[in-house]
Amino acid sequence: MRILQVHQINQVAYTYGEDLERRGHYVEVYEPSLVGGLAPLPVKMAFMPWRVLDMRHVVGKLNRSHFDIVHIHWASYGVLGLASRIPYIVHCHGGDVRHRLQHPLSRVMLEPVLRRAAAVLCVTPDLLPVVRAVRPDALLSPAPIDRERFAPAKNTADEPSRPWTILLFARLDLNKGVDIALEGIVRFVKRHEGIRVQLLDWGSLKGEYRQRYGRYFEFIPLVVPGEVEQLILSADVIVGQLALGALGLSELQAMSCARPVIASFRYDDAYPTPPPICQAATAEEVDERLEYLFRNPEMVMSLGRQAREWIIENHDHRVLAGKLEELYQSILLEK
């Protein structure tokens, strides 16, 4: 098959591309222009002609002379599918549909994209109810994790001693529940001296939180993708997002590294077995889970091992690439 992957959000397109190439397929990854993509709507609209001009170069390739199928990550880029002469898949990743499908104007734009797609996929289970309001047959296709790269530390005995470390591994935005997480972390730290707390210096609340906690906690600049695993392995416990009730890429990568994760997950039916995490949805629960793990280091190791085994069973990149290959083939057989 000749496959075009559109938009490399969280490296997912590249991960699938490499695995599909190993299976004998030809894969290209196209990255649309992101100029103005994060700007306010008036500015975004001003940049729209430039972005459309950039996309026209790939539109001419959306036919059987170049590719057999198009896999589009991020629903708004699905407009490319409307111009395609070959089947296209839309893969929803969160902010592209979670609130936009509730907004009348955005919904009008997204509905034809989703309805005409050969298949619609969601990367997390919390998106399924939202997307199924438009496409009842939408499927869960979770984030692929490279378990060889995101692996436990090999020589822990040789590691230098360091303080017991908590990593709040989430963007500093209210919709991630970081306000709740930080309240729980602060409660815990007040009872224990010498605890190191690390936060990502990223998100709409980073300035406010740096002012409030900068003297006590470390704010970590965004690291390049190749250094994420080292950031995870430098922590004893990972605190993830609490508001959405689903596990994002950060939590999954931490679990693959055999680190215990404190997070909220409310979709146990999405998997054959629920993820082995420390469930928390309130500041009190975050504090309690941290206290338990701090006092029971053997559970840190045990929960970490269980988490990695669960990732291998449910998120291994090679297994998920195989399922994607089967989906592509079934779509092409129907055409």
- Alpha-carbon dihedral 55, 58, 62, 65, rounded to 10 degrees: 160
Co-location of 117 and 177 in the same domain: no
Rounded Cα distance, 107 and 113, in Å = 10
Q: Which residues of 209-224 are buried (b: 16+ CB within 10 A; e: fewer)?
A: beeebeeebebbeeee
Over the chain (335 residues), the average pLDDT of each successive run of 10 is 96 97 98 65 52 75 97 95 97 94 91 98 98 98 97 73 95 95 98 97 96 96 92 98 96 99 97 98 99 98 98 98 98 90
> Would residue 244 count as lying in a domain?
yes
Place of tokens 């002379």: 65
Co-location of 188 and 243 in the same domain: yes
Question: What's the pLDDT at 230?
Answer: 97
Considering only CA atoms, which of 165, 157, 178, 101 is closest in space to residue 132? 101
Co-location of 306 and 322 in the same domain: no
> Would residue 77 count as lying in a domain?
yes
Place of tokens 């500041």: 283
Question: What's the pLDDT at 76?
Answer: 92
Co-location of 41 and 107 in the same domain: yes
Element containing residue 208 per DSSP (H, E): helix 206-213
> Would residue 151 count as lying in a domain?
no
From residue 36, how far is each of 33, 40, 46, 123 by CA, in Å?
A: 9, 8, 8, 25
Co-location of 7 and 91 in the same domain: yes
Half-sphere exposure of 240 (CA within 13 A, CB side): 24
pTM (predicted TM-score): 0.91
Degrees to nearest 5, angle at CA 317 with 255 and 220? 45
> Would residue 286 count as lying in a domain?
yes
Co-location of 226 and 307 in the same domain: yes
> Would residue 149 count as lying in a domain?
no
> Would residue 325 count as lying in a domain?
yes
From residue 260, how far is each of 45, 66, 251, 276, 286 by CA, in Å?
A: 43, 45, 9, 9, 13
> Would residue 171 count as lying in a domain?
yes
Question: What's the pLDDT at 107?
Answer: 92
Co-location of 170 and 138 in the same domain: no
Rounded Cα distance, 217 and 192, in Å = 14
Helix (H, G, I), strand (E, B) or coil at 33: coil
Co-location of 190 and 290 in the same domain: yes
What CATH code is carried by the domain that includes residue 165? 3.40.50.2000
Q: Calculate Rg over the CA atoms of the chain.
A: 21
User: Quick one: how many helices (H) and strands (E) in the chain?
Assistant: 12, 12
Rounded Cα distance, 303 and 283, in Å = 21
Question: What's the pLDDT at 156?
Answer: 61
Residues 6+ apart with CB under 8 A from 32: 6, 7, 51, 54, 55, 58, 77
- Total count of domains within the chain: 2
Question: What's the pLDDT at 102?
Answer: 87
Co-location of 128 and 193 in the same domain: no
Place of tokens 């680190």: 259
Co-location of 6 and 140 in the same domain: yes
Considering only CA atoms, which of 105, 135, 240, 225 is closest in space to residue 182? 240
Co-location of 322 and 301 in the same domain: no
CB 141 within 8 A of CB 324: yes
Rounded Cα distance, 254 and 62, in Å = 37
- Helix axis angle for 317-334 and 12-22, nearest 10°, is 80
Residue 299: domain span:
156-314
Co-location of 261 and 210 in the same domain: yes
CB 268 within 8 A of CB 250: no
Helix (H, G, I), strand (E, B) or coil at 285: helix
